[in-house]
A and B are shown apart, each in its own frame.
Chain A
């Protein structure tokens, strides 16, 4: 069959391959890009129901914030700009409402009690305009931190979007329009900034798309350069790259044909697969080059290579695929898709490598071995050093490895779990600067949403509920991370102030006054501001806590503390649920990390079982654990000492690397077994100096390929790339030093001799 493939069937094979690639290519180029980031959500049914109910009652919580900073913000120039921007933003399709100083309404004492009045008088002009506006703003302390900064130099336009779950283009379109407004040249001293959860998600999607357009060509170039450097032959570059290209097209074609859109995670499919798919072809090519020169028949050499490597290549691909497949236990659809399709890609790559590489090799002639030997001097010197060390000083090697592993465990204890979309961005990214500016000036860029209700389903329009809510507000504001709180209390305070002609923050103190205030709220009917804070039946009240820029590491315990305090304040008669996009993101990222630990455990078991199945030896299975766990511990330690957080990006490293690192172990042990008959030390020597070369080449290609990701603009991508590459180097060192040292030390013959 191999002979047929290399002779009569090779042209038909290439034609079929080209046709199939064209078909898959048709689907691959039509893969849409997901804009909503919905596939990153991993809410359970209960949490989803709470969030859906919240949004149905109170609208979207993912407000965008457009800030305007002006030296005379409250003067006619500043408010005029705020007014013009408010009108423009309201005109953008898909925007539900915009709250700003220019359209805000205050409550003032009237003939029959509290009456509405525009906060800003019209026309926006006149000598006293600034004085009047300043007084109006100061009369309404609820606005501070929300619509205007404490120093009265920055105003916020709070932009609420319509809920259009089926319109993927809505948010990108609005964000593009807003970004254009922010970026347009403007006369005068005004400064505009834009942020919000949606803006962050949009920016992440944009950066990933940009990274793809940079990283894929860069990966291809680097892979080509690395292959050229190691093999110094055109075929040595073209054949592995062809395998990579076909694998990419087929995998993305399958992805597209399955109806999925590229999301934050699966946008990494292409660069990751480019690296993974080159490994088998490198091993095949290197083996073909290394075959004894006596074997003059070209096709026989190819067939020998295939026969020798198909089993280890199958298992190395299988273990890599299993590592990836372990990601399917994740709650996050995007991670599941990434794991499943990367695993599929790895197996496609195996199939293509085992056919296209032999067919490709059948068209080229084998070179003389002399020049390769000359080129390989330094590498071979290193391999000989490694072989000598592991044979002569196995205890020392294991001692050093153990020491480093101990240090690694100590470093792992320092790792902090944190996902922070804003701090994932580089400091020079506009969104990072915008977000941090708005965070400093206003009450915070994130919001934690709480929904208060009575357990008996009764109304919250009682003095008891309002008193407890006021205590909860105070408790929230006592946390330094909380910059401001909006709730129905803000409305009640404004009503009470206007009803009593009072000043500052005050709440109705007796039941008649409170009930009158709620009567007025009810009479406000479908007023959007009222409806955003309490439902028409007064059974569910929203408490919106504005949070400064923090990541999930701070947000998760903060949520826990707040909920503990809430339990003490509200007692058993009330229920307080926490929800919202920020809570969801915090919960998702923490859950993702927890699930990744599960993924890693699964990957570990599957990979080790696969190794056991390959060698059918408990001893080799046990030995294979050592060089694969140690690099991961070292990388974990490195992360801990360098302060690199466990986030949505870095958490996948362990599962991905385990599947890759074991490849070298399998190749090593396969050769070791073949050489075993001449004794363990001789076998180690022959394996390290023989197979070691292919391991160094394939690992180096993988490392360089992963390191290309350092050109990314997103910190998790950079960390993932650098750390995965670094772990691959550690894994290679372990396979060339720790694994042979273990084999030497645990050689049954040696133990018998010692005894």
Chain B
């Protein structure tokens, strides 16, 4: 009986943790109503902007948000895949997480509708660009990666996210997420490493509710 009870508890914990993003308890990771953009930098290539990287404070959640907005989304995602391969080689811990993340990117790319302007007749609304929102989020209690299709609004050259459809949420090891957040931020922001680390670290938990559930992370605390 004791074994059976332990098994049930373990199963509940496992289910709860595996559903950390999809289920209501993860809502805080996705709740953009509290977003405060601390830093933002465009993603450019040859003078063309393909999106933006943002460092966001979402309450107690710290988010590295990559908003891709490009007519060559496949190429941009190809570059991300390439970067993942370089950063997470097969012999490095986290490689498997990276592979899961890359596979999720492929699924997300397929899930995004094709360009809306087959004739490329550009005008005020004509558009060939497709968009994807990638969020690496971490709080004291949980972390995850979300792939979303954003609903964007352009105003005076700046993009604002009006809403987003969740395509897939991934629960990946804490270390993988933390390192990727740091690598992305370092690539796009000229911020001293210590300060960056402070910006990316969630505030110290003050209440038990913020404590990380045991076993929720596959990595180090």
A contacts, CB < 8 Å to B = 111-113, 458-459, 461-462, 511, 515, 518-520, 522-527, 537-538
Contact across chains for A519 and B128 when beta carbons are under 8 A apart: yes
Bound complex: CA of A461 vs CA of B119, how far in Å?
7
A522: chain B residues at CB < 8 Å are 48, 71-72, 128
Complex interface bits, B119-156 against A, C-beta within 8 A gives 1, otherwise 0: 11110000010000000000000000000000000000
Give the contacting residue for B75; candidates A112, A525, A537; CB below 8 A. Answer: A112
Bound complex: CA of A7 vs CA of B120, how far in Å?
89
Contact across chains for B72 and A520 when beta carbons are under 8 A apart: yes
Contact across chains for B120 and A461 when beta carbons are under 8 A apart: yes
State how many angstroms separate the Cβ of B186 from the closest Cβ of chain A. Answer: 23
Contact across chains for B46 and A524 when beta carbons are under 8 A apart: yes
Contact across chains for A112 and B78 when beta carbons are under 8 A apart: yes
19 contacts between A and B (CB under 8 A): A112-B74, A112-B81, A113-B74, A113-B78, A458-B121, A459-B120, A462-B119, A515-B118, A515-B128, A518-B120, A520-B72, A520-B75, A522-B48, A522-B71, A523-B71, A524-B46, A525-B46, A526-B47, A538-B122
Interface check B45, CB cutoff 8 A = yes
**A537 nearest in chain B by CB position:** B122
In the A-B complex, the 5 residue pairs with the closest CB atoms: A112-B78, A525-B46, A525-B47, A525-B48, A461-B120
Contact across chains for A111 and B71 when beta carbons are under 8 A apart: no
A113: chain B residues at CB < 8 Å are 74-75, 78
State how many angstroms separate the Cβ of A115 from the closest Cβ of chain B. Answer: 9
Bound complex: CA of A461 vs CA of B121, how far in Å?
8
A526: chain B residues at CB < 8 Å are 46-47
**A518 nearest in chain B by CB position:** B120
Interface check B111, CB cutoff 8 A = no
A537: chain B residues at CB < 8 Å are 122
**A111 nearest in chain B by CB position:** B78
Bound complex: CA of A710 vs CA of B7, how far in Å?
112
A538: chain B residues at CB < 8 Å are 120, 122
How many B residues touch the partner, as a band?
Answer: 20 to 34
State how many angstroms separate the Cβ of B34 from the closest Cβ of chain A. Answer: 34
Q: A515-B120, A523-B71, A525-B47 are in contact. List 7 more A-B contacts (CB 8 A).
A: A112-B78, A462-B119, A515-B118, A515-B128, A522-B48, A537-B122, A538-B122
Q: Which residues of B in the span 42-68 have a Cβ within 8 Å of any Cβ on A?
A: 45-48, 50
**B77 nearest in chain A by CB position:** A112
Give the contacting residue for B122; candidates A459, A523, A525; CB below 8 A. Answer: A459
Give the contacting residue for B45; candidates A112, A462, A519, A523; CB below 8 A. Answer: A523
Bound complex: CA of A461 vs CA of B126, how far in Å?
13
B70: chain A residues at CB < 8 Å are 523
Bound complex: CA of A538 vs CA of B78, how far in Å?
25
Q: Counting chain B CB atoms within 10 Å of each CB, which of A113, A462, A515, A527 scores highest? A: A515
A527: chain B residues at CB < 8 Å are 46
B78: chain A residues at CB < 8 Å are 111-113
B128: chain A residues at CB < 8 Å are 515, 519, 522
B120: chain A residues at CB < 8 Å are 459, 461-462, 515, 518, 538
Interface check B82, CB cutoff 8 A = yes
Interface check B8, CB cutoff 8 A = no
Give the contacting residue for A525; candidates B45, B74, B82; CB below 8 A. Answer: B45
**A538 nearest in chain B by CB position:** B120
**B78 nearest in chain A by CB position:** A112
Interface check B205, CB cutoff 8 A = no
Interface check B115, CB cutoff 8 A = yes
Contact across chains for B121 and A511 when beta carbons are under 8 A apart: no
**B74 nearest in chain A by CB position:** A112
**B126 nearest in chain A by CB position:** A459
Contact across chains for A519 and B122 when beta carbons are under 8 A apart: no
A520: chain B residues at CB < 8 Å are 72, 75
A523: chain B residues at CB < 8 Å are 45-46, 48, 50, 70-72, 75
Give the contacting residue for B119; candidates A111, A459, A525; CB below 8 A. Answer: A459
State how many angstroms separate the Cβ of B85 from the closest Cβ of chain A. Answer: 9
Q: Which residues of B in the span 17-47 have a Cβ within 8 Å of any Cβ on A?
A: 45-47
**A527 nearest in chain B by CB position:** B46
State how many angstroms separate the Cβ of A631 from the closest Cβ of chain B. Answer: 64
Contact across chains for A519 and B71 when beta carbons are under 8 A apart: yes
State how many angstroms separate the Cβ of B50 from the closest Cβ of chain A. Answer: 8
Q: Counting chain A CB atoms within 10 Å of each CB, which of B47, B75, B118 scores highest? A: B75
User: Given the interface contacts A112-B78, A515-B115, A523-B70, does A459 sit within 8 Å of B46 by beta carbon?
Assistant: no
State how many angstroms separate the Cβ of B87 from the closest Cβ of chain A. Answer: 16
State how many angstroms separate the Cβ of B124 from the closest Cβ of chain A. Answer: 13
State how many angstroms separate the Cβ of A216 from the closest Cβ of chain B. Answer: 54
Q: Which residues of B in the span 67-106 have a Cβ within 8 Å of any Cβ on A?
A: 70-72, 74-75, 77-79, 81-82
State how many angstroms separate the Cβ of A694 from the closest Cβ of chain B. Answer: 76
